Every structure is written in C-alpha cells, then in structure tokens.
Chains A and B, each alone.
Chain A
Amino acid sequence: MTGGRVSESDQSGIDDPSGASRPSPDARARVLFSETYPAVAGSISTVRATVGESAAQLGASAALIDDLKLAVSEAVNNVVLHAYAEADQPGLIHVEATLAAAELSISVTDTGSGLQVGQPEPGPGLGLGLALIGQLADHVELLQGSNGGLHVLMRFALPAIPPDT
C-alpha cells in the first residue's frame, strides 16, 4: 500500500514495509522494526510499546525511552486525527525505526491528504504535538510524499550504545 512512496530526500527505503528483510542502501543502517497499523487511536499504544521495547533493547535510558514514546505518539496522533479526515474510512500508518551509528531514526508515514508540510496542526492537540516533537527529537524533517501523505522523520542521538547490540 505504500509502494512507490519515497520522499525526495529519503534514500533509506524506509517506506517499504518489508524493509527489514532486504539490504539497506546504507550498510551501517539497521532496521529495528517496520510495521503498518490502522490509523486509529487504538493503534497508538501499540506503536508506543513497540518503540519503547526497541529502544530498551538498545540500552537507551529511561528518560530517552520516555521521550521516544512521547514523540512517536504525537506523530501518530497527527495521522489519526488529520491524515484521513476526508477519507471514508481510516487509512494506514507506517512506522519504521532504523539505527545507524549512534542515531535512532523513527519515521511515521501516512498516505492521506489531511496534513501538509508547513500547515499548522489544528484540533484537540492545540498545535502542541508537532511542537513537542521538535523539542524532543534532535532533528525533525517533515516531507511531503509523492502521493500526498506526510512523512515525519525524527532522529535521536543514542549515547553510549554497547557494541554488537
């Protein structure tokens, strides 16, 4: 469902749900998980738990795990609330986490048309969601996908990861 959905600055194949099973263009990057969920509120706790478990396995601190869970929740909230607002039924959310060197990247991608780069986020989050992501992540990119959806890429520095994890 996300085939062919590659943003212009995206070279890592992170829109491919099967990305974990094929070689990454960047040999140093490792896909930790790559999952697709229905874009409904009930998916958010599952995404959050998956991100938390991944980060815990990398030895991330409790504070960093909290930040990752909050950031990914806000990104998924935006998709659930806005991406498919004009669609007949909820669409899908693709979430992928990759590790390269000491940096964890989490991407949240939708194929809807409700969110545009540069558009302020309306709704119950009071515009707090994207602002929170900006405070939590070390680097954030919002990219417009070729089929109209939004691609949120968040990067987090991971201090002192033990080798071979």
Chain B
Amino acid sequence: MSLPVPFKVRREGAGRTQRLIPTGELDLATAPVLERAFDGVLRDDDEAMIVVDLTELSFMDSTGVALLLRMTAACADADRLRIVNGTPSVVRVLDLTGVRARLPIIASHDDPRAPLQ
C-alpha cells in the first residue's frame, strides 16, 4: 500500500504577506497542525495578510472545511485572510459543503493584498 505524503505545513513570509502551505492530507488527525501554524502567524504579526494555500493538499475532509471557516471568522474583521483554491478534490469538498462562497478564495496567481472580487 502506498503511504500518503506525511502532512506538514510550510510557512513562507514575504513582506506583509505570510503564506501557509499545507502539504498532504488535511483531516481529523492533521488539522490541528495547520491550526497551530495559523495561530502562530496570528500571534506573531497582527497586520500581515495571511494566505492559506491549499494547492498542495491531496485530500481534505469536513474537518478541514470547519477549520477554514474558523480561520475566516478569526480574520473577518481585519479582512486579512486569503485562501488559495486547491485541486479538484479539494474544490469539490468546498462545493459539496456549500461553503465556497463564504470563504475569501483567490487563485494562486492573484495578488493576495488586492481587494476581494
């Protein structure tokens, strides 16, 4: 049986933008890792735009969706979160759960500091 890629979260800072890139499968076991990384960015810099980039996720379940909703709520007042949309299987979960329109989603080539369309 092929083992999944171990889950990890890469953090890349560029100026006023902090990017979190989770890799692997975002599920009940791994969501706390991403949540801790996100809380760390919130704590470290209260002005940076936070970009959570889903493009390297091979899987996401409702646990991941719930986490994205919590992140969105935490950043709503300051409008400082952008979520870069992921693979078709990730997009499908966002569509099936009906939350896609409620998340600040951008494409990977979009400027995260530009106003949301």
Q: Which A residues contact B (CB, under 8 angstroms)?
A: 41-42, 44-45, 48-50, 53, 63, 66, 69-70, 73-74, 77, 80-81, 124-126, 128-129, 131-132, 135-136
How big is the B interface, by class? 20 to 34
Chain B's closest residue to A66 (CB) is B89
Contact A77 B3, CB 8 Å, known A44-B27, A44-B29, A125-B66: no
Q: Chain B, 1-36, contact with A by CB distance < 8 Å: what is the 0/1 string?
A: 111100000000000000000000101110100000
Q: Which of A45, A53, A77, A135 contacts B63 (CB 8 A)?
A: A77
Q: Which residues of A contact B25 (CB under 8 A)?
A: 45, 48
User: Is B65 in contact with A45, judged by CB distance below 8 angstroms?
Assistant: no
Q: Which residues of B contact A45 (CB under 8 A)?
A: 4, 25, 27, 29
A73 to B1, CA, bound (A): 17
Q: Which B residues contact A (CB, under 8 angstroms)?
A: 1-4, 25, 27-29, 31, 59, 61-63, 65-66, 69, 88-89, 92-93, 96-97
